[in-house]
Structure 1
Amino acid sequence: MIRNNNGSRVESVHRALFLLKVMAQEGSLSVTEAAKALDVDPSTAQRLLATLAGDGFAEQGEHRRYGPGPELLRPGMMRAVPPLRVRARPHLERLFERVGETVHLATLVGTKVHHVDGIEATTHALRFGLRVGVILPAHVTSSGKAMLADLPLHEVDARYRIALSGASGPAAEIDFEKLYRDLDETRRHGVGMNFQESEDGVAAFAVSLGVIDGEHAAFSIAMPIARFGSGDAKRISDHLIRTAAELKESQL
């Protein structure tokens, strides 16, 4: 497990390394897929992929898709490590068994949360559906708050400066004072919370898993706010913190 909370990270390098991880895990990706994964313009994704290809770390194959290049495939450069979602799945299942509500594994890319795996609670008449594949703004989601709270303030500011200056920046203004208060509260409790901020009628809680092999990840639990009771917050928070600790212990 690699952890890196260095606030001096260069965003372009981070993006290039993220694309290398995706290529290693998925085998190949297109410019469109790379742009979506990074939440950047296709032209930016194209430049990153072209740079990786130029240095031999990627190569363009059939259908103009990019895969690992000769430099990345040299002996000793790659090791057989299961993808994050595979390694986290047993713990996600354990969390689901403990809470009986819909659970997700999410990652943080820039200022966006990517839901990469999940288990839906189907026994309730009123339930929260799966959001696997859905990308949401980090500042309105429980998992986004949990992961942003891991970062120093200047790193949070830097991410949002990049997002707001890009063509695909947030459509609505961000209340940074509220965001900072939310992150302070998340640090105090160890759990990020979302009450109808990302979607109407939803209560959600999340805990950061830290950075695992370069991916900043979190577990989240979501339920209809109509079923949310006064004792649920502590119960859910305790299970999140416990399960996250178990996952981290298993990676040591």
Structure 2
Amino acid sequence: MPLPLTPAAPTAEKPELPAPPATPASSLDVYTGDPNFMTSLARGLIVIQAFSQATPQMTISQLSVKTGLSRAAVRRCLYTLTKLGFAGAEDGSRYSLRPRLLTLSQTYTTSNSLSSAAQPILERMSATLRESFSVATLDGDDIVYIARTAGTRVMAVDLHIGSRLPAYCTSMGRVLLAYLPPDELETYLARAVLTPHTTRTITSVEKLRLALRNVRRNGYALVDQELEVGLRSLAVPVYGPSGRVAATVNLSGNAPRMPVYDMQTRFLPYLRNAALELGAFLR
């Protein structure tokens, strides 16, 4: 007589381990196997970009943690950057970037026709209106400043050419997002993390869609204290020769001192004229 079958003991499911946090170094994985990709150069650029206003000096260990690169890779990058004069360590352990690195950004601003053309236009408006004006382009999920004049200090963070800010909660970012081709906009909205910077920040994808539709309808973006309390900004598109928006011109000011009505009636015409001038230069 066959023995009765006993049910097998349930196998305990192994808990899924959390995925390791993404690091700048992990972004290089997609290039594995590409014979034309210079991994050593990419690692050096990752090390350079790890330095910031919050972390201007770091040890090899700190850079390794922040970048996701091994200590040996970080050490080789810093050795090369130090030999070339782009980095150094005063005490032998805490590294920082050196002024020679500015030559790289200067090369961009002098060789980029839009940046070169924008700067005198912004300076002329700033001299007339005593306000802060900027020109930016879209880079990934951020805007990047390529020209700027500061009539007054309007933000807690000191902005300059090369500064980056999130696109979704800035007037320049809203303009650049609003005029993206539909498929590119949908790709952005699918991956965007809408972090609240103030109680006014739009953190809903649907509300952001509505805001972008309003930008296209009005031809400008006005963002009221979504990035920083007390900061109000206005931006308009700059059209390239293909008819696609190539950049954006912006005015930023202190909210109590600069009412919305004044921005729309007094300052908007100046921004639109500057955008037309820049657009004509690009053609």
TM superposition score normalised by structure 1: 0.62
Is the Cα contact below 8 Å between 2:174 and 2:221 reproduced in 1? yes
Q: Report the 3-state secondary structure (helix = DSSP H, G, I; strand = E; otherwise coil) of the residue aligned with 1:174.
A: coil
Does the residue aligned with 1:247 lie in a helix, a strand or coil? helix
* Residue aligning to 2:120: 90
Residue number in structure 2 paired with 1:219: 249
Residue 247 (structure 1) aligned with residue 242 (structure 2): no
Q: Which runs of 5+ in 1 are unaligned?
A: 1-39, 67-80, 164-168
Counterpart of 1:186, as a letter, is V
Residue ranges of structure 2 left out of the alignment (5+ in a row): 1-21, 47-109, 197-201
Aligned to 2:140: 110
Q: How far off its partner does 1:117 sit?
A: 3.1
Number of residue pairs the alignment of both structures matches: 188
Matched, 1:236 2:267: yes
Secondary structure, counterpart of 2:229 in structure 1: coil
- Partner Cα distance (1:215, 1:192) in 2: 14
CA–CA distance in 2 between the matches of 1:181 and 1:146? 13
**Paired residue for 1:43?**
25
Q: Report deviation, 1:51.
A: 7.4
Name the CA shift for 1:45/1:94 in 2 (closer, same or farther; >3 Å). farther
Query: Does the CA contact (< 8 Å) of 1:106 and 1:218 recur in 2?
Result: yes
Contact kept? 1:98, 1:239, Cα under 8 Å: no
C-alpha distance in structure 1 between counterparts of 2:280 and 2:239, whole Å: 12
Aligned residues of 1:147 and 1:210 also touching (Cα < 8 A): no
For residues 128 and 187 of structure 1, the distance between their equivalents in structure 2, rounded to whole angstroms, comes to: 26
Shift of 1:46: 2.9
Secondary structure, counterpart of 1:209 in structure 2: strand
Q: Against the structure 1 CA distance between its residues 43 and 221, is the aligned structure 2 distance closer, same or farther, given a 3 Å change threshold?
A: same
1:180 corresponds to 2:209: yes
CA shift at 1:226, angstroms? 0.9
**Aligned: 1:55 with 2:36:** yes
Contact 2:118 2:147 in 1 (8 A): no
Query: How has the CA–CA distance of structure 1 residues 90 and 225 changed in structure 2, closer, same or farther, with 3 Å as cutoff?
Result: same
Structure 2 counterpart of 1:73: none
Alignment of 1:1-252 (within 5 A): 41-43=23-25, 45-47=27-29, 54-55=35-36, 60=40, 64=44, 82-83=111-112, 84-122=114-152, 127-129=153-155, 130-132=158-160, 133-163=162-192, 169-171=193-195, 174-210=203-239, 216-229=246-259, 230-252=261-283
CA distance in 1, matches of 2:217, 2:195: 30
With the length of structure 2 as denominator, give the TM-score of the two structures: 0.56
Q: Counterparts of 1:152 and 1:60 in 2: how far apart (Å)?
A: 34
Shift of 1:86: 2.4
Map of 1:30 onto structure 2: none
Residue pair 2:132, 2:150 contacting (<8 A) in 1 also: yes
| Structure with more relative contact order (C-alpha pairs < 8 Å, separation 6 or more) | 1
**For the aligned residues, what is the CA RMSD?**
3.3
Supply the distance in 2 between the matched residues of 1:204 and 1:55 (Cα, whole angstroms). 43
